[in-house]
Amino acid sequence: MDYFAQFENLRITGRSASFAYVHVHNLLREGRNIVAELAPVMAA
């Protein structure tokens, strides 16, 4: 994953090999946080 850090405008989404038991509400919260992070970038 360090390789991808060099790309300033790249956002990794999804599980990204995060193998853990999670609850749906946590996944929804993570998705909402990703959208909130990307919204200002997309509006520019």
> In sequence order, what DSSP letters do the residues of 20-34 get, joined into one string?
----HHHHHHHHHHH
The CA-based angle 26-39-19, given to 5 degrees, is: 30
Give this prediction's pTM. 0.52
**pLDDT for residue 25:** 93
Confidence of residue 15 (pLDDT cuts 50, 70, 90): low
